Chains A and B, each alone.
Chain A
Amino acid sequence: MSDIFFNRELSWLSFNERVLKEATDKDVPLLEKLKYIGIFSSNLDEFFMIRVAGIKDQIKSGLNKPEISGLYPQDQLIKIKEKTKSLINDQHDIFTKIKLECENHNIFLKSDKFGDFPIDSLFYNEILPQISPITISPSNPFPFIHNLNTNIFTSIIKDGNQYNSIIIIPGNIKKYYIFKDGNFTHIFLLEDIIEHFLKTIYNDSEILESFYFRITRNADLNFQNEEVEDLYSEIKNSLSKRVTGEPVRLELSGKFSETSKMILKKSFNIEEVDIYYYDEIIDYRFLIGINIDNDNLKYKPIKYKVPDSLKKGDFFSIIKEKDILMFRPYNDFGVIGRMIAQAAEDPDVIAIKMTLYRANRDSTIMQSLEKAALSGKHVCVVIELKARFDEEKNLEWAERLEKAGCIVSYGFVDLKIHAKALLVVRKEKGKIVRYSHLSTGNYNETTAKLYTDIDFITANDVIGNDVVKLFNFIMSYSDPLKWEKISVAPIYLRKKIISLIDNEIYFAKMGKPAQIIAKLNSLYDKEITLKLYEASKAGVKIDLIIRGITSVVPGVKGQSENISIKSIIGRFLEHPRVLFFKSGGNGRVFLSTADWMVRNLDKRVEILFEVEQNELKNQLINYLYMNIEDNQKSWILKSNGVYIKKKSTASKKNLQSDMEKIVE
């Protein structure tokens, strides 16, 4: 492997490892630890459905080229397997440990005390009607197995003949049941209940073996075809492909015979390298949503703050006075919803435009837009139908909004629209005044409470004009024109970043202050990595706060000794992209929706804009330094690719809890 670039997949697995390790952090409340175990599983599933599926596709197509770190596709699969095996063992050990800790608090995860509770009623009335055992025979071939559903494989003897049977467990069935007995809480897992009643299901047969299995399928939808004329119909049709995508991983748990394993391998056309073995639970995703009643073992609920300036008066006159910066989730994201609701009812508002990447199903923002359109306002919504795993939800919104009279645009076939922008156009005393909201986060009221993000609201006319151009571009009203304050991918953003780094190199060479701080979700890009090395060699001090993957190898003498990289994993998912360039003096600060990756800079519509107002700029610089100084949730990346977490006990600095305290 090269010492110039890290491998993308291994870097990602390392990120997921950090997520899992949050469940071992003594400062994380016990029941919250469970969530990290669930998120780890969910992340890993997506990784297999998209990334591993992609590598397998690459092998299938005969494209046997090494990626930038030098690894060939086959080598990557071997290394992924190696790392994943170790991670799922860790996951099991961590879960077992937490399970024991929970028992100290009278919480019994994966309880087997069936006799003490009416589990039989539950099984017969609710579970049995939903599951369907299928016995495989020449007239009953191997059934279709859905992506990510855990099922049970059994071998049975009936009437003297041996059969194989599969109990299909539907994806939407409840995966756990919580029963309380005084101070004791028992959590029964669906699979355990089914196994408990296995003899009842096969009452006329002898069960020789039974084990769980789960299949993961390729779920990447590809819309690169330029001939696609109707994106809406294309995506609606393509969603079914996700269900029937090629299998990429087989997971097995329990005791199974080699014969049974061979049957599954053959049925799914899967090789040994794609099989993963578990001692107990395969799918921990249920832990993300589990709600066990014990507030002492959870995070204290956050108090969402509304900036003082927005507490009274109408939004528009306040925004006109000064730009506003808000930090999610510490600031109440509901403010944006209320702003849109006010716009929907305001007779002076003539148009509302927004991008929609991932909205929640019961979004009040979308409801306000519906209302505005119904009242005759000009409402345009650019819905990204290709937002992975949110395609169906977005299709639903598209239909609803169109019905209300909104102009709904689906963007481009080959470019995902990841920019987050809202524009409210008012006619004030005969003049057009534009209010822009630009954000690093989605218009999603659910994730707004789970992700950290930064919202910027302004009535600045130049920015407003740029946002108009952005909408005209993504709604195909106009070819892209020159933007004054906003840089837009895939047209200018990459160039802008390179030129900003080049400026720092220039200042460093001139002996002037040169520094870069970049907070990103991911940085995986050959050109930018090499440019950062060039900057490091020129003496630019570079602090990268990258939550996820990176291609940059820090701290290598003669290459990157001025680069340090850390990753912050905390209660909330760190999601903003904030950039600081010293620029030979006081520095310039930018917010962006774009990670520094090929997909973001060349294959998506993303934005980057400068925050120029001193007060807000200082807030952001302070925020970046809080990121650098965090010594409780930070993992430091070493040049060998290993992340080390060292918690300081002396002067504790915790970005997220400190932000919660200081945000007004």
Chain B
Amino acid sequence: MKNGHYAVINIGASAIRMQISEFNNGEEKIIEYLVNPLRLGRDTFSKGFITLESLNKAVEIMKKFGDKLTEYDLWKSYKAICTSSVRDAENRYFFIDRIKTKTGIELAIIDELEEVYVKYLAIKNDIHDFEKYEKSGVFLLNFSSGNVGINIFQNGINLFSSVLPYGSLRIAEFVKNIKNDLKYRAYDIYAEKLTNQIRQYCKNITDIKYLIGSGSSINLLEEIIKPTKNSIKKIDIENLYKNFKHFDPKAISESLNISDYNGEILLPTLRLYLSVMNTMNVKEMLFSKQTFPNQLLLYYSKKIKDKSVKKRLIKNFFHYGKKYNLDETHAKKVSYFAIKLFNELQEIHSLGENEKFLLEASAILHDIGYYIDIHNHHEHSAYIINSFKMPGYDKRDMKLISIISFMHREKKIRSDDTLSKLTPNELLTVKKLVALLKIADSLDASHMQIIQDINLSISDTMIRITAVCRDIPYIEEKVFNRKNRDFLETFGVPITFEARLNYE
């Protein structure tokens, strides 16, 4: 990444934060970190919109942050994002427009998945030996004022990933009219609901041995429990909860010498952590002290990269495939042929690595719709793929994979609504990839892996595939000759097929 200065502004549920960092030869130095409390979440989570009064306060804070952008000349090197308190507000676009008009700062709403992915990446970057935890099973719990972000990994597979509306401020708002003595019962129900959801998605939750916490709640726990290492013991959380279970927020803040706000959110925070720890059956939680603005800054300045993203995504595609009884052998075979075609025909299609990945993903997932119905399975494949939540993977790319998968059984690319929304470049890419996928898919049309491998001979007038087979590929040849038309129409060159039995 380039040397220089970058700023990130994060509008969260309980505060607006800004971080300015200097990057020099790969090293990050935090130049400034600013926090201004503003409980936008209080508005959004209780009323559903942000009041004008809060908006005006946000404007004042953002003006000051604008001064900082001027001071360090960062108007072209900043990213300002908002999370759930703005994302979930009815008047979010008015909010964003007003901030832009009054301060010049352009806000973007961070997508839930992107949020959870940024947090995952940053923690991966921050926690020593993370790969070890990731392999044997790790539960990443980002518990902040607005939401709970969850990422569960095992053997390099993302078992569960979601942002759930259980943030401490959200819960505190929810229970504010309940008698103090009875609030703990509401926390119990909330915690139970959360853990039920987790169990539903991750049946073997007790196999996950490591819990890593992050988010603003960690700072609070750290301030009170004062752990000597980067881990907090369940017994400490339990004792704290037991001691203060029946206290009102004011009494908590006075007894523990914490802010009134922290006094208000402490009990729901403790209860949720306890619930997760009990569900997982772990006795301690590791934690990362990274702030969200710091994580965002590292991410947007490209200081942290997800080097194994493609490998992990492929694993995840197969993991999802299992849920839908995907013919994994067929998927692997088609994927193999597709990549081989892609690599050999580079001169003709001129596509890059990202497109290669789109093809590989489509080759794995194109038949996932069988789970719903074999007829029109391509249509089912398209919406199933579209519903996948893959942290770290661009939504747009996922959309393209679903379109390519849809097209693998269509004779021609239709100009329907979805396709008309593609840019001319994207449309061309889809056409090229569909042409290749159709060829690859036809080469295992029987799903019996009769064709073991292929060789290509390429000239300006013809491309010939010689298939090395363990038997005569009747179905493959027939399907090939039906599906090779797209190839000709897309690349202007015919592609032919010849089978050769594999014997010596």
Question: Interface of A with B (CB < 8 Å)?
Answer: 350-351, 378, 407, 425, 430-432, 468, 472, 475-479, 481
A479 touches B24 (CB 8 A): no
B5 touches A432 (CB 8 A): yes
Contact with A along B108-128 (1 / 0, CB 8 A): 000000000000000000000
What is the distance, in angstroms, from A463's C-beta to the closest C-beta of chain B? 15
Whose C-beta in chain B lies nearest to the C-beta of A425?
A: B71
What is the distance, in angstroms, from B111's C-beta to the closest C-beta of chain A? 27
Whose C-beta in chain B lies nearest to the C-beta of A461?
A: B29
A407 touches B34 (CB 8 A): no
- Cα A468 to Cα B73 with chains together (Å): 17
B36 touches A378 (CB 8 A): no
Set of chain B residues within 8 Å of A475, measured between Cβ atoms: 64
Report if B35 contacts A (CB, 8 A).
yes
A-contacting residues, B27-55, CB 8 Å: 31-37
B71 touches A350 (CB 8 A): yes
What is the distance, in angstroms, from A261's C-beta to the closest C-beta of chain B? 56
Residue pairs across A and B with CB atoms within 8 Å: the count is: 41
Q: Tell me whether A481 and B33 are in contact in the complex, defined as CB-CB below 8 angstroms, given that A430-B4, A431-B22, A431-B24 are known contacts.
A: yes
- Cα A475 to Cα B71 with chains together (Å): 14
Of the A-B pairs whose beta carbons lie under 8 Å apart in the complex, a sample of 12, sorted by A's number, is A350-B71, A425-B71, A430-B3, A430-B4, A431-B22, A432-B22, A472-B34, A477-B34, A477-B64, A477-B65, A477-B67, A481-B35
A-contacting residues, B1-15, CB 8 Å: 3-5, 15
Contact with A along B55-75 (1 / 0, CB 8 A): 000000000110110111100
Set of chain A residues within 8 Å of B67, measured between Cβ atoms: 378, 407, 477
Q: Tell me whether A476 and B64 are in contact in the complex, defined as CB-CB below 8 angstroms, given that A430-B4, A481-B35 are known contacts.
A: yes
The 9 closest A-B pairs by CB, nearest first: A478-B34, A378-B71, A477-B64, A479-B35, A351-B71, A478-B35, A432-B31, A477-B34, A430-B3
What is the distance, in angstroms, from B404's C-beta to the closest C-beta of chain A? 44
Question: Interface of B with A (CB < 8 Å)?
Answer: 3-5, 15, 22, 24, 31-37, 64-65, 67-68, 70-73
- Cα A485 to Cα B319 with chains together (Å): 52
Set of chain B residues within 8 Å of A351, measured between Cβ atoms: 71
What is the distance, in angstroms, from A191's C-beta to the closest C-beta of chain B? 54
What is the distance, in angstroms, from A479's C-beta to the closest C-beta of chain B? 5
Set of chain B residues within 8 Å of A425, measured between Cβ atoms: 71
A350 touches B73 (CB 8 A): yes
Looking at chain A's contact residues, is the secondary structure mostly helix, strand, loop, or mixed? mixed
Set of chain A residues within 8 Å of B5, measured between Cβ atoms: 432
B24 touches A430 (CB 8 A): yes
What is the distance, in angstroms, from A379's C-beta to the closest C-beta of chain B? 10
Set of chain A residues within 8 Å of B31, measured between Cβ atoms: 432, 468
Set of chain B residues within 8 Å of A432, measured between Cβ atoms: 5, 22, 31, 72
- Cα A33 to Cα B224 with chains together (Å): 59
B33 touches A477 (CB 8 A): no
- Cα A431 to Cα B36 with chains together (Å): 26
Whose C-beta in chain B lies nearest to the C-beta of A479?
A: B35
A350 touches B72 (CB 8 A): yes
Set of chain B residues within 8 Å of A472, measured between Cβ atoms: 32, 34
B71 touches A468 (CB 8 A): no
- Cα A468 to Cα B32 with chains together (Å): 8
Q: In this complex, which of B15, B32, B73 has the most chain A Cβ atoms within 10 angstroms of its Cβ?
A: B32
Set of chain A residues within 8 Å of B71, measured between Cβ atoms: 350-351, 378, 425
In the complex, given contacts A378-B67, A431-B22, A472-B32, what are 16 additional A-B residue pairs having Cβ atoms less than 8 angstroms apart?
A: A350-B71, A350-B72, A407-B67, A425-B71, A430-B3, A430-B4, A432-B5, A432-B22, A468-B31, A472-B34, A477-B65, A477-B67, A478-B36, A479-B37, A481-B33, A481-B35
- Cα A378 to Cα B66 with chains together (Å): 12
B37 touches A378 (CB 8 A): no
Set of chain A residues within 8 Å of B65, measured between Cβ atoms: 477
Whose C-beta in chain A lies nearest to the C-beta of B34?
A: A478
Q: Tell me whether A477 and B3 are in contact in the complex, defined as CB-CB below 8 angstroms, given that A430-B24, A432-B31 are known contacts.
A: no
Whose C-beta in chain B lies nearest to the C-beta of A430?
A: B3
Set of chain A residues within 8 Å of B37, measured between Cβ atoms: 479
Set of chain B residues within 8 Å of A481, measured between Cβ atoms: 33, 35
What is the distance, in angstroms, from A94's C-beta to the closest C-beta of chain B? 53
Set of chain A residues within 8 Å of B72, measured between Cβ atoms: 350, 432
Set of chain B residues within 8 Å of A431, measured between Cβ atoms: 22, 24
Whose C-beta in chain B lies nearest to the C-beta of A378?
A: B71
What is the distance, in angstroms, from B145's C-beta to the closest C-beta of chain A? 15
B33 touches A479 (CB 8 A): no
What is the distance, in angstroms, from B234's C-beta to the closest C-beta of chain A? 27
- Cα A472 to Cα B36 with chains together (Å): 10
Q: Tell me whether A378 and B24 are in contact in the complex, defined as CB-CB below 8 angstroms, given that A472-B34, A477-B34 are known contacts.
A: no
What is the distance, in angstroms, from A474's C-beta to the closest C-beta of chain B? 12
Whose C-beta in chain B lies nearest to the C-beta of A472?
A: B34
What is the distance, in angstroms, from B71's C-beta to the closest C-beta of chain A? 4
Set of chain B residues within 8 Å of A479, measured between Cβ atoms: 15, 35-37
Set of chain A residues within 8 Å of B22, measured between Cβ atoms: 431-432
- Cα A35 to Cα B265 with chains together (Å): 61
Whose C-beta in chain A lies nearest to the C-beta of B5?
A: A432
Whose C-beta in chain A lies nearest to the C-beta of B71?
A: A378
What is the distance, in angstroms, from A123's C-beta to the closest C-beta of chain B? 58
Whose C-beta in chain A lies nearest to the C-beta of B37?
A: A479
- Cα A618 to Cα B388 with chains together (Å): 67
- Cα A407 to Cα B63 with chains together (Å): 12
* Contact of B70 (CB < 8 Å), options: A378, A430, A476: A378
- Cα A430 to Cα B22 with chains together (Å): 9
- Cα A351 to Cα B35 with chains together (Å): 21
What is the distance, in angstroms, from A471's C-beta to the closest C-beta of chain B? 10
Set of chain A residues within 8 Å of B73, measured between Cβ atoms: 350
What is the distance, in angstroms, from B213's C-beta to the closest C-beta of chain A? 20
Whose C-beta in chain B lies nearest to the C-beta of A351?
A: B71
Whose C-beta in chain A lies nearest to the C-beta of B22?
A: A432
Whose C-beta in chain A lies nearest to the C-beta of B259?
A: A479
- Cα A479 to Cα B38 with chains together (Å): 11
- Cα A430 to Cα B65 with chains together (Å): 21
- Cα A378 to Cα B71 with chains together (Å): 6
- Cα A61 to Cα B75 with chains together (Å): 55
What is the distance, in angstroms, from A9's C-beta to the closest C-beta of chain B? 34
What is the distance, in angstroms, from B20's C-beta to the closest C-beta of chain A? 9
What is the distance, in angstroms, from B360's C-beta to the closest C-beta of chain A? 40
What is the distance, in angstroms, from B219's C-beta to the closest C-beta of chain A? 11
Q: In this complex, which of A425, A430, A475, A478 has the most chain B Cβ atoms within 10 angstroms of its Cβ?
A: A478
What is the distance, in angstroms, from A107's C-beta to the closest C-beta of chain B? 57
- Cα A458 to Cα B15 with chains together (Å): 33
What is the distance, in angstroms, from A498's C-beta to the closest C-beta of chain B? 15
Set of chain A residues within 8 Å of B3, measured between Cβ atoms: 430
Set of chain B residues within 8 Å of A378, measured between Cβ atoms: 67, 70-71
- Cα A101 to Cα B37 with chains together (Å): 66
- Cα A84 to Cα B67 with chains together (Å): 53
